[in-house]
Amino acid sequence: MRTLLGLALIAGLLAATPAPTADDALQTVLDPYFRIQSALSDDTTEGVRADATAIATAAGALGQPGAPIARAASALAAAPDLAAARLAFGTLSDAVVAYADAAGSATGDGVHVMFCPMVDKQWLQKGEAVRNPYYGKSMLACGEKKAKK
C-alpha cells in the first residue's frame, strides 16, 4: 500500500511538471551559440570547441528538425583554426535561424538577426550594436540588423 501511494505521488508530481517547450530546448542551443559569436567577434576560438560540442548535444533535444544544427555544430567543434571556425559558424547560424523560423521559437529578449554583406551570412546576436563574428575586430561593426527575433 505504501509503495502504491509513493508511486501515485511521484506520478502526480511528474504530471504537474510542465514538459520542456521548443523554446526551452532552443535556449540550450542559444546560450553556447552566443558565447561562440562573442568569441569569434573578439578574434579568438577560446571555448568555441566546447560550446560547439554542447550545441551538438543540445540539438538532439530538438528532434529531427535539429539535425542540421547538430551537424553544423559538430563541424564547428572540429574547426582547426579561426578562419575555419568562422566559416563553420556561418553554417551553424543558418541552421539555427532556419530552425527558429520553422518552429516559431522565441530566441529571447534583445536578440536580433544580423547580416554581413561581405560574406553574405547572417547570425543571431544579443544587443543592437553589430559585433561581426566573421571579421572580428578588423571589421567589427560591418553588417546590419535584419530583424528582431
pLDDT digits (tens, 9 = 90+) for 81-105: 999 999 999 999 999 999 999 988 8
Domain coverage including residue 141:
20-148
Q: Which amino acid is at 53?
A: T
Q: Cβ distance 37 to 124 under 8 Å?
A: yes
Supply the pTM of this predicted model: 0.84
Q: What's the confidence (pLDDT) of residue 22?
A: 52
pLDDT digits (tens, 9 = 90+) for 26-84: 899 999 999 999 999 999 999 999 999 999 999 998 999 999 999 999 999 999 999 99
Q: Is residue 5 part of a domain?
A: no
Torsion of CA 24, 29, 30, 33, to 10 degrees: 170
Q: What's the confidence (pLDDT) of residue 40?
A: 98
Q: Is residue 6 part of a domain?
A: no
Q: Cβ distance 119 to 132 under 8 Å?
A: no
Q: Is residue 14 part of a domain?
A: no
| Range name among 13-17, 44-48, 131-135 with the lowest pLDDT average | 13-17
Q: Is residue 12 part of a domain?
A: no
Domain count, the chain: 1
Question: How far apart are the C-alpha atoms of 128 and 145, rounded to whole Å?
Answer: 8
Q: What's the confidence (pLDDT) of residue 103?
A: 87
Instruction: Enumerate helices (H) and strands (E) in the chain, giving the number of each.
Output: 5, 3
- Quickly state the pLDDT bin for 23 (edges 50, 70, 90): low
Q: Is residue 64 part of a domain?
A: yes
Radius of gyration of the chain (CA): 18
DSSP string, 81-144: SHHHHHHHHHHHHHHHHHHHHHHT----TTEEEEEETTTTEEEEEESSS---TTTGGGGTT-SE
